[in-house]
Amino acid sequence: MFISASLSLRLKTSPLSLRWISSSISTKTTTTPPQHFIHIFTDARHHQNYSECELALVSALKSCSSLSLTSQGRQIHSLSFKLGLHSNTFIQNSLINMYAKCGSISDAQLMFNACPGLDSVSCNIMVSGYVRAGQIDNARKLFDVMPSKGCVSYTTMIMGFVQNGFFREALEVFKDMRCCGVVPNDLTLVNVISACSHFGEILNCRMVHGLVVKLFVDGLVIVSTNLMHAYCLCSGVKEARRLFDEMPERNLVTWNVMLNGYAKTGLVDKTRELFEGICDKDVVSWGTMIDGYIQKGRLCEALEIYRAMLQTGHGPNEVMLVNLVSACGRRTALVDGLQLHGTVVKRGFDCYNFIQTTIIYFYAACGMMNLACLQFEVGVKDHLESWNALVAGFIKNGMIDQARKTFDLMPQRDVFSWSTMISGYIAGRKIGP
């Protein structure tokens, strides 16, 4: 049975149901399957509850978007078409959104092109879909011609540019936004701050900071934390610390950003002081402190922090172990390196090629070429960096013949392979008779 034309018209002009959709369904449909809303639709249709019919279809499409259920979304699209609801603006927008979020950008574009005129909501959805699909040029073309650009429109375009590495273009859009009198929100500012940080100019950070204060959003943790991060990237660790001290509220990310800012600047004692003030440290906190000591060549303190971390029940990640093993190689700390290798195997990280390479370098640096060869034999043979590490290890230990044999067996070579072998021969000639 087809829904009557009067029902279709009433579905188009139901502002009460629209408000209810936007306010109450946003959290429910993220986990509720679309079939649940189809049952509601069937029941509402039977009782001629028109606003509930529209709500159910829009909610079902939103559910498909959240769960990436393209097939079910297409079935709902067919149902909408059969019932004469495909021209309903709200259902149209929901269909565009569903296709865009499910990765079917061509279908979303077909739906969008079928709209009788440019609607700001439809355009926002489509621009966001293009950004999600990485079609930044199409997003910009539509953005330039869309009517009534608001904060959502500008923020979506700025986010798209930032996510694709077009930082200057992002700032240009932000300038247009300000010229048009559109007030940015916290998400806008977070992306603008990210764009500014990539230019390394602290003046840009200060200008955005001033705007943040002017708009009274400096109390938002996400904004201030990102601004701190930008200051640190632009060699403004003092400004970052001042902002950190002024923040009325901080979360663990805030502490870790400040911690990383000190560590990257080489201020390891200040890093340790701040580190001790963190109540609930996570693996990022511990890893940043360890990395700070490693950068300064203070392996003993790095291992001390590592062991303290293990006592708290936190386990190391692969990056932390690579940094520690590499540091042990530079200091020829064989015993500590052996223990770390055991942890690598125990945690299953030895399957990563970059860890295999690091372990080969470590054993070679410690003069244990038998163990370096053993690690190479149990690892992946098509990893060029592991071959290079083994050749370099042989040369470092004065075993030029073994280095040449390994070099000749390499399935492929890069510039590093050749330069390592040539350097080995030159060094051998200098120390020869």
Is residue 174 in some structural domain?
no
- Find the domain containing 102 and state its range: 12-116
CA distance 199 to 168: 9
Is residue 25 in some structural domain?
yes
Q: Residue 323 is encoded by which pair of tokens?
A: 């940094």
**Burial zone of 295 (CB within 10 Å; 0-12 exposed, 13-18 middle, 19+ buried):** middle
Is residue 209 in some structural domain?
no
Is residue 182 in some structural domain?
no
CA-based max dimension of the chain: 102
Region class of 247: left (phi > 0), else alpha (psi between -120 and 50), else beta: beta
Is residue 63 in some structural domain?
yes
Domain tally for the chain?
1
pLDDT of residue 27: 39
Amino acid at the residue 149: K
pLDDT of residue 408: 95
pLDDT tens for the 433 residues of the chain, in order: 233 333 333 333 333 333 333 333 333 434 587 777 776 777 666 555 556 777 888 888 888 888 888 888 888 888 888 877 767 888 889 999 999 999 899 999 998 998 877 788 999 999 999 999 999 999 999 999 998 999 999 999 999 999 999 999 999 999 999 999 999 999 999 999 999 999 999 999 999 999 999 999 999 999 999 999 999 999 999 999 999 999 999 999 999 999 999 999 999 999 999 999 999 999 999 999 999 999 999 999 999 999 999 999 999 999 999 999 999 999 999 999 999 999 999 999 988 999 999 999 999 999 999 999 999 999 888 899 999 999 999 999 999 999 999 999 999 999 999 999 999 998 866 544 4
Is residue 412 in some structural domain?
no
How far is residue 24 from each of residues 15, 16, 20, 397, measured CA to CA in Å?
14, 12, 6, 69
Is residue 248 in some structural domain?
no
Is residue 181 in some structural domain?
no
Q: How many Cβ atoms are within 10 Å of 273's Cβ, its own excluded? A: 11
The answer to whether 174 touches 158, Cβ cutoff 8 Å, is: yes
The distance from CA 281 to its chain's CA centroid, rounded to whole angstroms, is: 21
